[in-house]
Amino acid sequence: MKKLGVAVIGTGFWGKNHARNYKELSSTELVAICDVNPERAKTVADQFGVKAYTNSTQMLKNKEIEAISVCTWSTHLAKEALKALNAGKHVLVEKPMATNTKQAQKLCDTAEQNGLHLTVGFLMRFIPGLQAIRESVENKKIGQLVCANAKRVSQWPERIGDVGVVKDTAIHDIDVMRFISKQDPITVYAKMGNMKHLKFEDYAHIMLTYKSGESAFIESNWLTPYKTRLLTVTGSEAIMRLDYITQDLWIEMQKETVQPRYQFQEPLKAELQHFADCILEKKKPLITGEDGVKALEVAQAAMQSSAKNRAIKLES
Ligand SMILES: NC(=O)c1ccc[n+]([C@@H]2O[C@H](COP(=O)([O-])OP(=O)(O)OC[C@H]3O[C@@H](n4cnc5c(N)ncnc54)[C@H](O)[C@@H]3O)[C@@H](O)[C@H]2O)c1
């Protein structure tokens, strides 16, 4: 079977994991990596036995490379993703995809014009427990959906210095809420601020409301000494709770609690496998560039809401 030639731009903490998974997957061939830090580029390239670049423009000339993962600092993602799309490569761009919706939309338009796949690194969607929640909400297995609560808190990962906790962290939950409810919120109200981080918000509380009456609440911070990643979805007949770290899922009903078991899988591996399959089999990816634009739109509205201390209405 033909393997998909891939490369990674930005091989820090997260890009290294992309490189490792591409190396491990049977459908992909890691061709090269690129990092502006020459020592890092060399170390990672040597580790995986591929060619190192410090300039992505040079690397993108390589015809063996058909698809790219963009894992640079968040404020460089859109620029690098655009270069890759203009060079005719399919792109998986990490979240938050871009600094604003205008840049993100430009990526979608460029991918569309060039007939290329564009997907965004919302890897929570590849966790089987979250897929079960979405399916249960859709089929009303938990009755009528009432609300969803997400908690994603930890210490500040100090390497992240160019965005705050909303675009770095809460954006996962913003996407999760869209994924499980299959709707966009109509209003966003948020309160955020910075306690320890000098430049960006390090805590945020975001409330989303929906046309049919449901609501969602997202708590995110970089102030908690330990890492918690939880989702609770309340329906009229049952509650579903997911721990993203252990991937444990609980379904709590009036008389019993059940805990379905799913085989633990590395969400990044599933995400990259899906990206490669979509390209090789010419299928539409589960997560599109438009999903990235929508998540950024809600993140921007949350920031605006907190600054103006009022709810922001979103266009439906
Ligand atoms: N989907 C997820 O769950 C998830 C998890 C972690 C990180 N991320 C995302 O991945 C991205 C990277 O995060 P990280 O934690 O690895 O950060 P990091 O600082 O550890 O690594 C970023 C790397 O990119 C390199 N770089 C920056 N700009 C570049 C450019 N223009 N060209 C080439 N190399 C460049 C840096 O030298 C560095 O090695 C961020 O956008 C982050 O939001 C996503």
Residue 20 shares a structural domain with residue 39: yes
Nearest-atom number in ligand 1 for the CA of 74 is 41
- Specify if 280 maps to a domain: no
Residue 169 shares a structural domain with residue 251: yes
- Strand order in 187-193's β-sheet? 257-258, 248-252, 239-243, 223-235, 145-155, 215-221, 203-209, 187-193, 312-313
The residue whose two tokens read 């955020």 is 192
* CATH number assigned to the domain comprising residue 15: 3.40.50.720
The residue contributing the CA closest to ligand 1 atom 1 is: 121
Query: What pLDDT does residue 132 have?
Result: 98
Closest of 136, 161, 165 to residue 148, by C-alpha:
136
Determine if residue 309 is left, alpha or beta; phi over 0 gives left, psi from -120 to 50 gives alpha, anything else beta: left
- Specify if 99 maps to a domain: yes
The residue contributing the CA closest to ligand 1 atom 29 is: 72
Tally of domains in the chain? 2
Nearest-atom number in ligand 1 for the CA of 40 is 39
Query: What pLDDT does residue 157 have?
Result: 86
Residue 160 shares a structural domain with residue 231: yes
Using CA atoms, how far apart are residues 51 and 102, in angstroms rounded to an integer?
A: 34
Query: What pLDDT does residue 316 have?
Result: 63
Residue 11 shares a structural domain with residue 65: yes
Question: CB-based burial of residue 195 (10 Å sphere; 0-12 exposed, 13-18 middle, 19+ buried)?
Answer: exposed
Domain holding 158, by residue range, is 125-264+296-313
End position of a domain, from candidates 97, 120, 143: 120
- Which residues does 146 contact at the CB level (< 8 Å), separation at least 6? 214, 234, 235, 236
End position of a domain, from candidates 120, 140, 164: 120
Centroid of ligand 1 to alpha carbon of 78 (angstroms): 12
Using CA atoms, how far apart are residues 253 and 109, in angstroms rounded to an integer?
A: 45
Centroid of ligand 1 to alpha carbon of 247 (angstroms): 24
Nearest-atom number in ligand 1 for the CA of 54 is 33
Query: What pLDDT does residue 43 have?
Result: 98
Residue 88 shares a structural domain with residue 160: no
- Which residues does 26 contact at the CB level (< 8 Å), separation at least 6? 1, 3
Rg over CA atoms, the chain: 20
Residue 132 shares a structural domain with residue 99: no
Strand partners, 204: 192, 220
End position of a domain, from candidates 120, 151, 176: 120
What string of pLDDT tens digits covers the 316 residues of the chain?
789 999 999 999 999 999 999 999 999 999 999 999 999 999 999 999 999 999 999 999 999 999 999 999 999 999 999 999 999 999 999 999 999 999 999 999 999 999 999 999 999 999 999 999 999 999 999 999 999 999 999 998 888 889 999 999 999 999 999 999 999 999 999 999 999 988 999 999 999 999 999 999 999 999 999 999 999 999 999 999 999 999 999 999 999 999 999 998 899 999 999 999 999 999 999 999 999 999 999 999 999 999 999 999 997 6
Using CA atoms, how far apart are residues 189 and 187, in angstroms rounded to an integer?
A: 7
Tokens, residue 178: 């869209």
- Specify if 217 maps to a domain: yes
Q: Which residues form the pocket of ligand 1, taking CB atoms under 6 Å from any ligand atom? A: 9-15, 34-37, 40, 56, 71-74, 76-77, 80, 94-95, 121, 123, 159, 168
Asked whether the beta carbons of 174 and 188 are under 8 A apart, the reply is no
The residue contributing the CA closest to ligand 1 atom 3 is: 123
